[in-house]
Structure formats: C-alpha cells, structure tokens
Amino acid sequence: MKDFVPGNQLQLLCTGEEYFPALLEQIAQAKHEIRMETYIFEADTIGHRVANALCAAAKRGVKVHLLVDGFGAAKLDHGLAPEMRQCGVEIQIYRPEVGRAQWRNPFRRHRLRRLHRKLSVFDSRIAFIGGINIVDDSETQKIAPRFDYAVQVEGPVVADIHAAMTHVWQIVAWAALGMHRHTTPAPAMSDLMPEAAAAVPVVAGNVAAALVIRDNMRHRRDIELAYLHALQNAQREVLIANAYFLPGTLFRRALANASRRGVKVTLLLQGQIEYPLLHYATQALYARLMRVGIRIVEYRHSFLHAKVAVIDGHWATVGSSNIDPFSLLLSREANLVIDDVAFATELQSSLNAAMETGSVEILPRHLHARSWLARTASQLAYGIVRMVIGFTGYGRRRRR
C-alpha cells in the first residue's frame, strides 16, 4: 500500500447536486491551469455548463487541458469539442473509436482498456477525485440522480494527482503524434509540464490520504491490493458500496475471511437494472457471500454509481474503480484512500442513511423465492462475463 501523505483537507461531495456547483466554482476561480479527465462528457445541460465554463477560463488566459475517453465520450468530437477548441481548450481523446473500427471485435483487450478516471486539478492547488461523470442525470433517467461521491482535495496529495494527470496527458499526446506524424506537430513542453506559475500545494489540514491508481504498467493491481490490505487488517466493520461488483477469488476470500473472524461485512450494491449482464452476474454471487455471514443490501432509490468503502471507522476510499474485472484488470482508474476518523465517519453516516431510506436488505428467503429462470439467468450472465475476461487474456494470466 502506498504511503499516506499527511496535511490534507477533504470535503465529501454526494451526487452531482453537490459536485457540479463546487466544480464550476473552481473552474471560474482558476488563474493559471485546469486539468480535467472524465470518462463521459455529455452534451446535456451540465455538459454545456462545464464546456462554457472551460471556454471562459481559456479566454481569460488559463491553460485548459481536457482528456476524455474515446468510448465513453465518443460524441464529444462531433458535439461540444469544436467550440471548446476554438476557445482555446486543448482536448485529447484517450483511445478514440474511429469509424468502423468501433464495431470490430469489442472484446479485444485493447478495446476494453478505457480511461475511467474522473479527476480535475485547478492551479495545482485544489483537486477533485471520485466517480461522477460530466452528465446530467435529470435528462437521462426518470428516477432520482445517480448515487455517487466525489472528494474536493486541498494539500500535498494534490501534487500526486496533478503528476498522474500530466503523465497520462503526455502519453496520449505522444501516441497521437505517432499516429499522425505527418500532420500533427510535436506537443510543446508547456503542454506536457505543469505551469510554472501554478501554486505549490502546502499543508491545508490534518487528513492523511494517498492517491492510488490502476494502469497497465507499474500499477496493475494497486487499487485491488489497497482493498485487500485493508480487508486483511479489518477488526470490526467493513462497509463497501460499489456499483458493479464482481470480485475475483482473492477479493471474495478476503471478504469471507473477515466475516469468519467476526468482522461485520456489509455490501451496498446496485438494485436497479442498468446493465443487465453485470446485474445478474453479481446476483450469482449472493448465495455464497451470504453463507459466510456477509450482509447484502441493494440500493433501489436510483442507480448506484458509488465506488467507496469504510473500514473500522478510519480507513476509507472514494474513487472511480468498481470491484469488477473491467476496473481491476483493464481500465485506468483512480481512488483516493484516506486514513481519518472524521472523514470515514461522515462517509459511513451518508451510506447508512442511503441504506435506511432507499435500500432493501437481501435475505435468504429472497434468494429461495427467485424463479428457476432468474437463477439460470444469473449463472449464465456470470459465465459470460468470465468468458469475456478470458478472451482478453487476463483470466489466463491471473491463474498462473
């Protein structure tokens, strides 16, 4: 586990209702540099507000870098991107889906390697990290907004977030140069390095935190290992809220071992059917998890999109990483891991409120009441997901 960095101040933000006003405020206040990464950037009300704010920042001389995923934000290049580029916003696409290529063999390993992080840094001083995309839920669904979290960060750990974002921006810039070497000029060093005028992060509070990323180089398992280390050391209580929960053998074993030694383990999982394949595959695990004493609660008030956890009232994490093969084995992800009683207590209180008002606990009688067709669908979905991961080659490598 990466060492915690002391001296930070954190503000927990629940759903887009708290996140977007804070994000827009920092865009408006930025003086030197804005860096933003997101998986989805929709051309809806929120997307237009963020795009307009980024344009306004670029026009007043702020260096604005926006990096989006080529699949999650596939429409951006034909929507908001031309206007933003005209304003001076520099936009790069991570693994763009081009033409007919997007329909060819969607299960190839490189096609599933997505930029799933949701990060922003303003003047190297304030950062945001979490699971909230640039999308207005009120325009895309009829139920309440997605239940999700982000964290506003001040302090020394902002430097780590900035460095991680600059690194990926540089990789994408040079990849694009290689793909279009006859037409694309070499990126300027000012595009690849932090602004000299940006403020250096200083001690802002008393919270210890660490940025933990997942990539396909040196940090392939860092997020998973951070979870496993915390689970192995858990003594009293584990509360995990995760939108797409399909852990591998090691993770399930760590949960089971914690429960067997008397730790209260609760999983808050997706109750609404957003992606049927993952939804039913997750339900295939319910019986074996419940047999070892793990409590399962489904969130049904809206779509659950959170990727958070609290352990023993002091360890917490908020980020973009689901506990499924696509996040833990394929995508670029970023989580903030926190060691702080006050922050963990606030996050746990928020999760407890969600379980009390918008959730249903799954009991053994609910599993027994499921039809033969529903049970078969779950097992079939679980088998399909395992097969997809096998096609990528990761399943075989993990068994060595």
The residue annotated as part of the active site, out of 63, 307, 324, 340, is 307
What is the C-alpha separation between 46 and 40, in angstroms, rounded?
A: 12
The residue annotated as part of the active site, out of 65, 137, 305, 324, is 305
List helix spans (H) across the chain: 15-29, 45-59, 81-87, 109-112, 137-140, 157-179, 189-192, 222-232, 249-260, 276-283, 286-291, 325-329, 341-358, 364-369, 372-392, 394-398
The residue annotated as part of the active site, out of 63, 65, 69, 116, is 116
Q: Which two tokens stand for residue 27?
A: 């865009």
Give the DSSP H/E element, type plus range, for residue 202.
none
116 flagged as catalytic: yes
Q: Which two tokens stand for residue 109?
A: 């390993």
Residue with tokens 């964290």: 151
The contacts of residue 180 (CB under 8 Å, 6+ apart) are: none
Per the CB < 8 A criterion, the answer to whether 270 and 243 are in contact is yes
What is the C-alpha separation between 90 and 246, in angstroms, rounded?
A: 36
118 flagged as catalytic: yes
Q: Which two tokens stand for residue 260?
A: 């067997």
Give me the helix-helix angle, 15-29 and 45-59, nearest 10°. Answer: 10
142 flagged as catalytic: no
Q: What are phi and psi of 193, to 5 degrees?
A: -120, 155
The residue annotated as part of the active site, out of 31, 312, 339, 366, is 312
160 flagged as catalytic: no
The residue annotated as part of the active site, out of 69, 123, 160, 324, is 123
Tell me the CB-side half-sphere exposure of residue 173, using CA atoms within 13 A. 19
Give the CA dihedral 163, 309, 118, 381, nearest 10 degrees: 130
The residue annotated as part of the active site, out of 63, 65, 118, 279, is 118
The residues annotated as belonging to the active site are 116, 118, 123, 305, 307, 312
